[in-house]
Amino acid sequence: MPFDINQLKVLWATDYVQIAVHLLTALVLGGIIGFERSYHGRPAGFRTHTLVCLASSLLMMITFYQWKWLPGVPLDTVRTDPTRMAQGIMTGIGFLGAGVIYKEGRSVRGLTTAASIWITAAIGILLGVGFYFPAIVASALTLGVLSFFRRIEDKMPSNFYAHHTLSFDRNKVMPEEEVRVLLANHGFTVANMSYRISDDGRSFEYRMAIGTIDHDKIASLAKTLRKLDQVRSFRISPTGD
């Protein structure tokens, strides 16, 4: 049978083929963004982002193809608003994003992953209505922000903050001024100093927020603290995502 280009055009124009293309594109783009998150060990990764993008695309097709699931009903009789559907999707994604944001000590993590879930849902909405060009561009920009911008962020001059806990035997406590001098000599500033005696009364703790513009100084400080015999324990917990 000779190849008929007109038959191919008719096949491509069918709604089922278009729906399949919408969903498969959402599957691929959502999976690519999710792979980047999984590669960096984030709690919501490959499968989560793929499902979010796919679900958003599916829900938007409810309004885009409303004449399919309301056969015989004039469109001027029953109307669905795509913008309201998009608003509902993004509201629901907010709950999923909140689930990946967690607090570790006094540090908040997962904000970037939550933002990536949110924008993946937006990409899925675009794909659901067949708006391919902005969806593909947005996917490329998202991957650029998550991967390439990470390198820029690491090289940008910025203040590095951490929560620092320093514990001593109750009878061998380093004076506060010496603690401040020690940290200052390593290039750290100190803020929000607080004090605590353990429940058993055997140890005394300094708790504080420390800051520096050189991330490498954290290793130098830890090395110094390990060599101090009077230090019973210490903890340096970086803030941020």
pLDDT digits (tens, 9 = 90+) for 227-236: 998 999 999 8
Radius of gyration for the chain, computed over Cα atoms and rounded to the nearest angstrom: 27
What is the predicted pLDDT for the residue at 75? 54
**How far, in Å, CA of 169 to CA of 178, rounded?**
16
CA angle 183, 186, 192 (to 5 degrees): 30
Task: Output the six-digit token pair for 11.
Answer: 């096949």
The whole-number pLDDT of residue 166 equals 93
Q: What is the DSSP string of 24-63?
A: HHHHHHHHHHHHHHHHTT-SS-HHHHHHHHHHHHHHHHHH
pLDDT at position 183, please? Answer: 93
Q: What is the pTM of this model?
A: 0.59
32-41 confidence digits (pLDDT tens): 988 888 887 7
- Confidence band for 77, pLDDT divided at 50, 70 and 90: low
pLDDT at residue 43 greater than cutoff 80: no
Give burial (CB, 10 Å; 0-12/13-18/19+) of 76. Answer: exposed
Question: Over 90: is that where the pLDDT of 241 sits?
Answer: no
* pLDDT for residue 72 is more than 60: no
Q: What is the pLDDT of residue 6?
A: 61
Each residue's pLDDT tens digit, 144-196: 888 887 777 667 666 788 889 999 998 889 999 999 999 999 999 998 899 99
pLDDT surpassing 70 at residue 142: yes
Give the pLDDT score at 1. Answer: 47
